[in-house]
Structure 1
């Protein structure tokens, strides 16, 4: 009963006219290659579509997080990184080959980080690039977690944490299959569910912040440089605008005290919003599970 009251209070707090506008910093992972490539498009074309949508919506300084191995495997995707930089968007570190800290030990993980550094340094040309997005958002467990955080601090990195993700990558896989089968009706269902998932997740993330912190925070949204993201981004950004969202940069969002340990990895990591909810024994807002539907589409 108490948990339900807390959720109701959070919902009322978000709905009041006095509540501040929600703030979201968009970030994109897995540059320059993410997911399957549908027919009749290229990685660079996908990047250009996403950049155009961001520019048209006046969303600025959007960080893209790079896995250098993608460029090594597909050299023609250099145009993705060049286009991102030409747009004035910064690039950060996502590990050389997207290995999670749950998969390797601390020295191997830091080696992955270091292997990416020359590529980022050459692309950023003297500008700041020392932000790390943990692959799979996996920050590991002690003692590996503390060893990696200490290593990141020594290298001058900040951590690009995430407080909002609706699993956009799931739609990229399904979309490639539906393009291959020519199933227009299925693609329409993908479009509708993608937007619904984004809206649900925005409400859920904001509600978790209000419930556990007593107020909303600027959120960092995880997205991917995928073909369906490129198709949907203009509509997604328009939907966020209708929902009152104000777009901010990663740097602006992480000025909030919630992200203090991300800016200084020497500090103990901050519990996620989900972990805070679990520690309180408070149920999270119910959201639709789209993964089962998406995994079965256009098979």
Structure 2
């Protein structure tokens, strides 16, 4: 089950709008493959670290696993921490040296629904100098909403979209998510206690949740459109993510996944509204599309309670 902090989604899509989207998706030339784009939020620093870990070590293991799998990825930056921890810029440099682009995740990871559209626009611009300084010839004008919060009212949503359009951004959608962020604190607890049983359980739950997310996204996409859209997977630069990345990528590739760039995935007509930052009735996701069509949500294991109790 997706936690509300990372799934602040409203079921606001109209049936008429969804019918039009479905018509577009069925046009000749619409992508039809089990493609997945990997995206990582919260660079350069996500959550707590286990004893002996460093931010630089985490990102080095992540990019090594991505390289071994030939997997492209996009990372989304909150640059506020660099003011007090300038050494963490090295994390972003390692990411870029591996050839992966960076995007904007808001200066301080502030929730649009808490700060309002005016402060949102300020946070957007304040994050840009770091991105520009590291981008080279890569496209850094992708934006991922912190907490996936896109505005609880039409006015806030429209104002935020207008700010993004004015700055030339595309919205980085999310169509696959297994709340990997929720594993970070339990992993640090289990590591600090040397709890081998707890760590093994976390590894199992991580892979199980990831596979369920793939199945759920495919089930919704096929029910809605009769095909696999290219999926955009939300992850984070956490210590357990780095530890599990080789096994996760091997799992997905064994399931027939082809790992593609964010740009390639979002070229699909499904993502037109986010790629053009168009105004719309609600956030774009498979969940909102399925809800608008009256489809049931695929079954997912709720691991949150178990995660909260592990290694206490």
TM-score of the alignment, normalized to the shorter chain, above 0.5: yes
* C-alpha separation in 2, matches of 1:68 and 1:271: 26
Runs (4+) of structure 1 exceeding 6 A deviation are none
Which residue of structure 2 aligns with residue 236 of structure 1? 248
Which residue of structure 2 aligns with residue 160 of structure 1? 172
Compare relative contact order (CA 8 Å, sep 6+) and give the higher one, 1 or 2. Answer: 2
Which residue of structure 2 aligns with residue 273 of structure 1? 286
Which residue of structure 2 aligns with residue 98 of structure 1? 109
Q: Which of 67, 77, 81 is equivalent to 2:88?
A: 77
* C-alpha separation in 2, matches of 1:68 and 1:216: 35
Which residue of structure 2 aligns with residue 111 of structure 1? 122
Q: Which of 133, 156, 161 is equivalent to 1:149?
A: 161
Q: Does 1:297 align with 2:310?
A: yes
Q: Does 1:56 align with 2:63?
A: no
* C-alpha separation in 1, matches of 2:252 and 2:81: 30
* C-alpha separation in 2, matches of 1:177 and 1:127: 37
* C-alpha separation in 2, matches of 1:188 and 1:271: 35
Which residue of structure 2 aligns with residue 13 of structure 1? none
Q: Do the aligned residues in 2 keep the contact of 1:259 with 1:270 (CA within 8 Å)?
A: no
User: What runs of 5+ residues in structure 2 fail to find an aligned partner?
Assistant: 1-31
* C-alpha separation in 1, matches of 2:259 and 2:137: 26
Q: Does 1:215 align with 2:227?
A: yes
* C-alpha separation in 2, matches of 1:187 and 1:281: 39
Aligned to 1:152, the other structure's residue is in SS state: helix
Q: Does 1:226 align with 2:238?
A: yes
CA offsets, 1:216-256, max 9 Å, x none?
20000000000000000000000001111011100000010
Q: Do the aligned residues in 1 keep the contact of 2:106 with 2:123 (CA within 8 Å)?
A: yes
* C-alpha separation in 2, matches of 1:21 and 1:131: 23
Aligned to 2:221, the other structure's residue is in SS state: helix
Q: Give the direction of change, closer, same or farther, for the CA distance of 1:270–1:292 in structure 2 (3 Å limit).
A: closer
Q: What TM-score do the two structures reach when normalised by structure 2?
A: 0.87
Q: Do the aligned residues in 1 keep the contact of 2:274 with 2:284 (CA within 8 Å)?
A: no
* C-alpha separation in 2, matches of 1:108 and 1:264: 22
Aligned to 2:75, the other structure's residue is in SS state: strand
* C-alpha separation in 2, matches of 1:270 and 1:226: 26
Which residue of structure 1 aligns with residue 296 of structure 2? 283
Which residue of structure 2 aligns with residue 175 of structure 1? 187
Q: Which of 26, 30, 35 is equivalent to 2:47?
A: 35
- Please report how far the alpha carbon of residue 266 of structure 1 lies from its aligned counterpart in structure 2 after TM superposition: 3.2
Aligned to 1:127, the other structure's residue is in SS state: coil
Q: Which of 127, 133, 137 is equivalent to 1:122?
A: 133
Q: Do the aligned residues in 1 keep the contact of 2:232 with 2:265 (CA within 8 Å)?
A: yes
After superposition, the CA RMSD in angstroms is 1.4
* C-alpha separation in 2, matches of 1:177 and 1:110: 37
Q: Does 1:132 align with 2:143?
A: yes
- Please report how far the alpha carbon of residue 280 of structure 1 lies from its aligned counterpart in structure 2 after TM superposition: 2.7
User: What runs of 5+ residues in structure 1 fail to find an aligned partner?
Assistant: 1-19
- Please report how far the alpha carbon of residue 24 of structure 1 lies from its aligned counterpart in structure 2 after TM superposition: 0.4
Q: How many residues align?
A: 280
Q: What TM-score do the two structures reach when normalised by structure 1?
A: 0.91
Q: Do the aligned residues in 2 keep the contact of 1:204 with 1:285 (CA within 8 Å)?
A: yes
Which residue of structure 2 aligns with residue 12 of structure 1? none
* C-alpha separation in 2, matches of 1:171 and 1:72: 27
Which residue of structure 2 aligns with residue 23 of structure 1? 35
* C-alpha separation in 1, matches of 2:126 and 2:150: 19
* C-alpha separation in 2, matches of 1:179 and 1:195: 18
* C-alpha separation in 1, matches of 2:170 and 2:284: 16
- Please report how far the alpha carbon of residue 208 of structure 1 lies from its aligned counterpart in structure 2 after TM superposition: 0.8
